[in-house]
Structure 1
């Protein structure tokens, strides 16, 4: 699959929130309840921090990855793939790019995943992420890619 990555622009805002809502609403609702106004405000605030890239395939938006480089780590804020495009290695390629950034900066990569999102949780664990915190609703995972065997990078 031929994927392209481009910086998100203001014209993507509605699509980004819609994609977030379609992929995450069930997990957010299960963990803490969905309040539309709070979710929109929090999403907009989050996007103002860090970098967000839209993933396209054959010119069609199929997902996005949002991260922030902090002084001592790289934080994966969101990785959302349009439901009909999931399980096609799009998320894997997006995450591989972020793992490469983390490795080149020699900073560990951190993320939060809802405990109820077992598919994502297990996927991150298979990739070498280690759980460092779990409050019963959200698990914090980390990865130091330069410590992994070369075949896993």
Structure 2
């Protein structure tokens, strides 16, 4: 069995500020380009939708480096959030997390879905490289499926 380079830790209420900070640092530039960034709105939206039990903190060498949120259904595993702090991007961690979820999906006979902003070229190219196909799109997002 391959040794993972990361660990997942179930999030708790104490992780609220870290998770919001990751969202802000990783998604703000995309949100600004599409809708503009309204800090009050973002904080309110995050607060209203934050459910710790759905979130996992991604750790490398005991350092919190990102967030993973997955929703599993009968036939589909949805990766609803996968954000890696900028200083840890480009090191293969996101790819490793996704590959592990794809493997889990294959073992369970489930497809994996993930989405990203259309303007997020890095995420789009990563998902295509990992074998995802564009399933659908909205005005602002691509939806991918394994």
TM-score (norm 1): 0.83
Displacement of 1:49: 7.8
Say yes or no: does 1:82 pair with 2:85.
Answer: yes
4+ residue runs over 2 A deviation: 31-47
Mark the CA change 1:96 to 1:47 in structure 2 (over 3 Å): closer, same or farther: farther
Question: Distance between the aligned counterparts of 1:33 and 1:84, measured in 2?
Answer: 24
Residue 14 of structure 1 corresponds to: 17
TM-score (norm 2): 0.87
Is the Cα–Cα contact under 8 Å of residues 50 and 69 in structure 1 kept in the other structure? Answer: no
Residue 146 of structure 1 corresponds to: none
**For residues 29-48 of structure 1, what are the structure 2 equivalents within 5 Å?**
29-48=32-51
Question: Distance between the aligned counterparts of 2:78 and 2:52, measured in 1?
Answer: 11
Question: Distance between the aligned counterparts of 2:136 and 2:46, measured in 1?
Answer: 23
**For residues 2-151 of structure 1, what are the structure 2 equivalents within 5 Å?**
2-48=5-51, 51-143=54-146
Give ranges in structure 2 of 5+ residues lacking alignment.
none
Give ranges in structure 1 of 5+ residues lacking alignment.
144-153
